[in-house]
Amino acid sequence: MTLPRLDPHQRSIDYLRISITDRCNERCLYCMPEGLVEWKERHEILTYEEILRIARVAARIGFRKFRVTGGEPLIRKDVVPFLSELARLPGIQSLGVSTNGTRLSVLAKDLHKAGVQTLNISLDALTPSVYHQITKGDVHAVVDGIHAALKAGFERIKLNTVLIRGLNEDEIWPLIHFAGEHGLILRFIELMPISTTDVLTDANFLGAGEVIRRLSQRDRLIPLETVRLGHGPARYYRLEQNAVTIGFIGVMTNLHFCEACNKVRLTADGKLRPCLGNHLEVDVREPMRHGATDEEIEHIFEQTLLDKPLEHTFRDQYQPARRMHAIGG
Ligand code: SAM
Ligand code: SF4
């Protein structure tokens, strides 16, 4: 079978982002706010064996980069042995984990030993009260986790900050300094209309362009046009005086955002989702539980790639049907 590397829009698709749980130990306003959570039943969630089988098929047909996410992936039981098996699948070139960082002080070393190469750690603020306001969590646990991750020796660690006007604007420079001190890449993510909460309003939206303009008043941003620091469509800059690399994930304002898209998502309940900002999903769980062969699973991947939209629909009055934590960010 030919490798389905190109989608109908000539984008090379080789990145599978796998959500292993829809649950989390934090309650970020923009993702899983308190009171708005509907968990999937346990039997709806793919077992590790099922995920590994899907990943094996994906690797066989040309997927090379894998990232495990959630919900919070590091709260799922036995995540380390699972990652260790995933890392050993033939064909996988890169394995990363996205995490809120709260369990890293316990798990960082084991994750590294298991074969995880890169970490994306969410950090929306350094001021404890602001961090708590956004996530309901404790920033000290995350900072401890970041230190543990630095010690463990991962190939690359990125910090991710969701921009929220009126909430973490004043955290931007402290986060830049923190990233600089620890040699970390810091990425700012535009708020996406994925949840249904009050935080996703025009008033709370802070675009990448505005942040770039503000930063330029204090330092020179040198565009790193040719640098690809990871597998996603972020735009990177080097801050000249602060000597920090920062990136912007301008999902909402960058009209070329989808041109560089190279991924497909596997939701925790076994749906292949070719685009975060489009409701289209292709079920792989039920066919698999009803005896689908590996070739049939390959065919489901092929269909998903054929249906991958040219662009997300977040700018078109998108109405979320499935919240971010249930997709896998
Ligand atoms: N729990 C892990 C974490 O927080 O990093 C992994 C899953 S989380 C859904 C993945 C990423 O999605 C995080 O960086 C988070 O900030 C981002 N995210 C969640 N909801 C978002 C939203 N509505 N808009 C923009 N980014 C969002
Ligand atoms: Fe949990 Fe990550 Fe969603 Fe925050 S963004 S609620 S940490 S899954």
Q: Where are the alpha helices (DSSP H) in 25-77?
A: 48-60
For 61, residues 6+ apart whose C-beta sits below 8 A from its C-beta are 1, 3, 4, 298, 301, 302
- Among 25, 119, 122, 132, say which to mutate for ligand 2: greatest number of ligand atoms within 8 Å of CB: 122
Residues in the chain: 329
Q: How far is the CA of 72 from the centre of ligand 2 (A)?
A: 6
pLDDT in tens, 38-94: 789 999 999 999 999 999 999 999 999 999 999 999 999 999 999 999 999 999 999
β-strand pairing of 263-266 with 271-273? antiparallel
Could you tell me the domains of the chain? 10-327 (3.20.20.70)
What whole-number percentage of the chain has pLDDT above 90? 69
Which contiguous run of DSSP H or E holds residue 250?
none
Q: Which atom of ligand 2 is nearest to the CA of 99?
A: 2
| pLDDT averaged over every residue in the chain | 88
Q: How far is the CA of 3 from the centre of ligand 1 (A)?
A: 30
DSSP string across 281-327: -EE-HHHHHTT--HHHHHHHHHHHHHT--SS--TTTT---SS-GGGT
Ligand nearest to the CA of 98: 1
- Stretch 267-282: mean pLDDT: 86
**CA-closest residue to ligand 1 atom 11:** 329
pLDDT at 2 over 70: no
**CA-closest residue to ligand 1 atom 9:** 329
pLDDT in tens, 80-138: 999 999 999 999 999 999 999 999 999 999 999 999 999 999 999 999 999 999 999 99
Residue 108's CB is within 10 A of a number of other CB atoms, namely: 27
pLDDT in tens, 147-205: 999 999 999 999 999 999 999 999 999 999 999 999 999 999 999 877 655 667 888 88
CA distance 166 to 163: 9
pLDDT at 7 over 80: no
124 C-beta closer than 6 A to ligand 2: no
**CA-closest residue to ligand 1 atom 8:** 329
CA distance 25 to 138: 11
What counts of helices (H) and strands (E) characterise the chain? Answer: 9, 12
CA distance 252 to 300: 29
Residue of 73, 162, 168 lying closest to 128 (CA atoms): 168
pLDDT at 328 over 80: no
- pLDDT, residue 326, reads 58
pLDDT at 8 over 80: no
**CA-closest residue to ligand 1 atom 19:** 31
For 75, residues 6+ apart whose C-beta sits below 8 A from its C-beta are 21, 23, 24, 25, 103
Tell me the pLDDT band of 4, cut-offs 50, 70 and 90: very low
Higher pLDDT, 306 or 107: 107
β-strand pairing of 244-249 with 271-273? unpaired
